[in-house]
Structure 1
Amino acid sequence: MLEGSTILVTGGTGSFGSRFIPMTLAKYKPRRIIVYSRDEMKQWEMAKRFEGVDALRFFIGDVRDRERLYRALDGVDHVVHAAATKIVPTAEYNPFECVKTNITGAMHVIDACIDKGVKSCVALSTDKASSPVNLYGATKLASDKMFVAGNSYAGGNGCRFSVVRYGNVMGSRGSVIPFFLDREGTLPITDPRMTRFMITLEQGVELVWHAFEDMVGGEIYVKKIPSMTIAQIAEAVAPGRPTEVVGIRPGEKLHEQMIGPEDAAHTFEYPEHFKILPAIHHWSRDPGRIKDGKPVPEGFEYVSDTNSEWMSVESLRLWTEANRDKVGRI
């Protein structure tokens, strides 16, 4: 689907875009990838990293700016919507700004994709959108709902929308791994019982690729990934260092949830992922969307503390050592 196409990535200079672009250029040879973001310095730095790559274009713009999005989407075949206000405390202290980007911005992307004849759009979501307890999660839940319903607005021959959902990316700027690596002395631990899902950027990119190839419209894709406790992460990254329990920050969960029991009736399992199908329009009964999926049990939850797959301390330590030059810079 992506072969020889024109792809636009909102928030394209962020962690996801920094990995999606080289991987997609190598695998699919798209005609053009357009990086759409509001930070000119990040665009300048990315342009230097990809100097000589003729397929890459840069477009200064904000998803809050409807008119600018319409201009950027001229001739675009596919969109990855990665732009968002993501830091939980930032969203709590700046709720109006978070809503403008994560909800109003999502609405602009949906409208622009439909009106400009884009073929498909995959939006990035977060574990925090499942049973949200903070504003960031609440705005992303609203965004997810809009992208699902966008398939109705687009009609039978319009743009197809789907969502991919995953948690914090290992080694990204917002993750705890670079924080522990750079920290001297005692490591602050929120709660030793806290668990988190573990996913690499490469796995996130591959999930987006799969969504583009598989989607009919309205699906939420959740990749099967391992869990770790925060204490295990600290031991893997900074072995032998003393820790201090400092308590959970406002808006944080003790465990990450990707799929809540309320979604179990519309969730199907596949070898490497789950798929939450829309409750609206009876789409969750559509064989074209279900394909070879198996329904999950009644009351099923996908939560980091009850996960069946766990990453070992040694595995994370080896990953951190192999990716030390990239940790905190992606």
Structure 2
Amino acid sequence: MKQVLITGGTGSFGKAFVSNVLETCETIERLVVFSRDELKQWEMQQHFPEKRYPQLRFFLGDIRDRERLKRAMEGIDTVIHAAALKQVPAAEYNPIEFINTNVLGSENVVQACMDTEVKNVVALSTDKAAAPINLYGATKLCSDKLFIAANNIKGSRDLKFSVVRYGNVMGSRGSVIPFFLKKAKEGTLPITDASMTRFNISLDQGVEMVRWALLNAEGGELFVPKIPSYKITDVAEAIGPNCKKEIVGVRPGEKIHEEMITRSDSATTVRMGKYFAILPSDGKLLERYIKEKENTNKVQEGFSYNSGENEDFLTPEEIRRLIKQNIDKDFEPV
């Protein structure tokens, strides 16, 4: 990994990935942040000044523009695709905008990689792409399929595409914990449904997983981490034990429990250390994995990975500790 481009590079994941790579990857020669927001790029440049980080470049562009992507990918060997529209209610109200970015934009990334000298591509997915009930999840499922299928049409190119799928990123923009931290100051926490659960992963864990996928993917895998869940009521208890808890109802397109591996996926899913891998349905990569990779075994038929049936749940105290570690070291329950 020497010449890297990350789409959506000014987002929560992008900033964490850039910071991690600049601090730990000695081989990096150029790291291109590709995004469409000039203000966020300017703000990021203040945090990573050019004199200290000459490897870092900023490239304005939209993944809806394939030609601009091709120009940005000149000389690039590794692409991380993190750009997406992701707010569930906004997707229900503006479906075509999400299709244009999350589906057609992803196809533009695939084609731009094939038209340049890119070798390795990892795309970010979401738990909402498994058995989706909202448009955002449906567009991300389409995106996943585009990247996995790209391995079938790459021809003789030295190029591989894989996907990583994980749950709610603790502290990311628009996620529940920063929202609750803000609302707790007002004395009331709005809870959609008392039985709601979600998967939880830190930004650092997400970055670690993407870098692991870059090193270990053969092309065609959809990787899923083994991570804990939390109950939304436990998040509320962790942040505002003395706050009023108000049930406000589930938002349009929202699930009570999220899923990352469906029962239908179990036929081609394997366990491998800290991760699962959902492999293509033709079975060829599955056969190779079972034969060649150590500590890899197939999941049982009918297996699913659901936030409500997870074996590992965070307690309110564990949630508080993670908030201090990952979001606000001065956090105290209200």
The TM-score normalised by the length of structure 1 is: 0.95
- Counterparts of 2:221 and 2:131 in 1: how far apart (Å)? 18
Q: Is residue 284–residue 290 contact of structure 1 (8 Å, CA) maintained in 2?
A: no
Assess if the C-alpha contact under 8 Å between 1:215 and 1:289 holds in 2: no
Alignment check: 8 A CA contact 2:170 2:326 kept: no
Q: Secondary structure at the match of 1:105?
A: helix
* 1:86-134 deviation per Cα after TM superposition (whole angstroms, max 9, x unaligned): 0001111111110000010010100110110200100000001100000
Q: Is the 8 A contact 1:84 1:102 kept in 2?
A: yes
1:27 aligns with 2:31: no
Cα deviation, residue 197, structure 1 = 0.5
Structure 1 runs not aligned, ≥5 long: none
**In structure 1, distance between residues paired with 2:303 and 2:198:** 18
Give the equivalent residue in structure 1 for 2:15.
Answer: 18
Moved more, 304-313 or 65-74: 304-313
Cα distance in 1 for partners of 2:282, 2:75 equals 31
Letter in 2 for 1:19: A
CA deviation map 1:43-71 (0-9, x unaligned):
00000100131110000000000100010
Offset at residue 240 of structure 1 (A): 2.3
Match for 1:258 among 255, 260, 263? 260
1:166 paired with 2:166, answer yes
Please give the per-residue CA displacement for 1:144-189, whole angstroms capped at 9, x wherever unaligned: 0110010111124332000000121111111111111111122111
Offset, 1:288: 7.8
In structure 2, relative to structure 1, the CA distance for the partners of 1:254 and 1:15 (3 Å cut) is same
Q: CA RMSD in A?
A: 1.5
- TM-score, with length taken from structure 2: 0.94
Return the offset for 1:290.
6.6
Question: What is the match of residue 179 of structure 1?
Answer: 179
| Equivalence for 1:233 | 235
Structure 2: give runs of 5+ residues left out of the alignment: none
Please state whether the residue corresponding to 2:153 is helix, strand or coil. helix
Identity %: 53
The code of the aligned residue for 1:62 comes to D
| AA at the equivalent of 1:98 | F
Structure 1 stretches of 4+ with a deviation exceeding 6 A read none
Q: State the AA in 1 paired with 2:24.
A: K
Q: SS of the counterpart of 1:166? A: coil
For structure 1, which segment, 314-323 or 198-207, has the greater mean C-alpha deviation from structure 2 after superposition?
314-323
- The CA distance in 1 between the partners of 2:223 and 2:327, in whole Å, is 29
Alpha carbons of structure 1 residues 290 and 38: separation in structure 2 relative to 1, 3 Å: farther
For the 8 Å contact 2:193–2:248, the answer to whether it is kept is yes
Equivalent residue, structure 1, for 2:317: 314
- 1 CA distance for matches of 2:71 and 2:118? 13
| Equivalent residue letter for 1:35 | V
Opposite residue 225 of structure 2, the aligned amino acid is K
Change (3 A) 1:151 1:243: same
* CA distance in 1 between partners of 2:305 and 2:281 (Å): 18
Counterpart residue identity of residue 40, structure 1 = E
Q: Secondary structure at the match of 2:169?
A: coil
